[in-house]
């Protein structure tokens, strides 16, 4: 599955979205077949985790990677996602899987995967509300109501991130790369 995810990432970065989408489907099917879409209780605090516990945690991390890629590719390609939220346990992962020490001293944790997960949940919501078959049958007034709601949810997500990693609303000319 890791190889398929790496190939998918490569294809997406090379701009080959159709092949990235096919690989995404393969990876999503693999993670579901292995049961990664269902969370299990967290690892016990008894010190060393067993091999099965480490494998389960790793599989769950692979699920989240598949989930992030799936929402991104669905939004970019206009195709429906392979991982449907109603069939996946979207319980946030343990802190150890989603945070890193920012300054190397072990003093300050920053969430990195939580931000990605939150944004992916919003991507899925935008896809459902604006691009799904159900959305295509909405009245224009309903779509125009959904857009500010999504915009508000996006701003709420952005504001929830620590200032050090929060995306800015605009870029200065000085921060733009020169060509």
Classify strands 109-111 and 99-101 as parallel, antiparallel or unpaired. antiparallel
Of 55, 9, 20, 18, the C-alpha closest to 35 is 55
* Cα 164 to the center of its chain, rounded Å: 20
The answer on 103 and 160 residing in a single domain is yes
State whether the Cα torsion 54-60-64-67 is positive or negative. positive
pLDDT in tens, 62-112: 999 999 999 999 988 888 999 998 899 988 776 555 555 455 555 565 555
Q: pLDDT by residue (tens digit) across 149-167?
A: 999 999 999 888 877 778 8
Q: Is 172 a member of any domain?
A: no
Q: At what angle do helices 2-13 and 17-33 cross, to 10 degrees?
A: 160
171 inside domain? no
In terms of domains, do 70 and 110 share one?
Answer: no
3-state secondary structure of 143: helix
Out of 29-43, 56-70, 96-110, 119-133, least confident range? 96-110
pLDDT of residue 115: 65
* Residue pair 64/112 in contact by the 8 Å Cβ criterion: no
Q: How many CA atoms lie within 13 A of 93 on its CB side?
A: 26
Are 24 and 79 part of one and the same domain? yes
Q: Say if 178 falls within a structural domain.
A: no
Q: Tell me if 176 is assigned to some domain.
A: no
The token pair at 67 is 């989930």
Range(s) of the domain holding residue 126: 92-166
Integer Cα distance of 77 and 61 in angstroms: 24
Same domain, 79 and 108: no
């Amino acid at each position: 599955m890791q190889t398929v995810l790496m190939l998918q990432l490569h294809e997406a970065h090379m701009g080959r979205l159709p092949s990235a989408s096919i690989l995404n489907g393969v990876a999503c099917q693999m993670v579901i077949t292995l049961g990664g879409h269902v969370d299990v209780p967290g690892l016990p605090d008894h010190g060393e985790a067993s091999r099965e516990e480490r494998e389960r945690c790793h599989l769950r991390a692979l699920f989240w990677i598949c989930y992030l890629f799936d929402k991104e590719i669905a939004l970019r390609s206009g195709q429906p996602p392979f991982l449907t939220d109603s069939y996946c346990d979207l319980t946030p992962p343990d802190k150890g899987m989603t945070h890193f020490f920012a300054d190397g001293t072990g003093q300050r944790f920053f969430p990195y995967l939580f931000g990605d997960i939150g944004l992916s949940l919003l991507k899925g919501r935008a896809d459902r509300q604006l691009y799904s078959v159900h959305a295509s049958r909405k009245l224009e007034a309903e779509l125009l109501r959904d857009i500010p709601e999504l915009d508000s949810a996006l701003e709420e997500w952005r504001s929830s991130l620590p200032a050090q990693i929060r995306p800015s609303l605009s870029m200065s000319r000085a921060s733009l790369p020169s060509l």
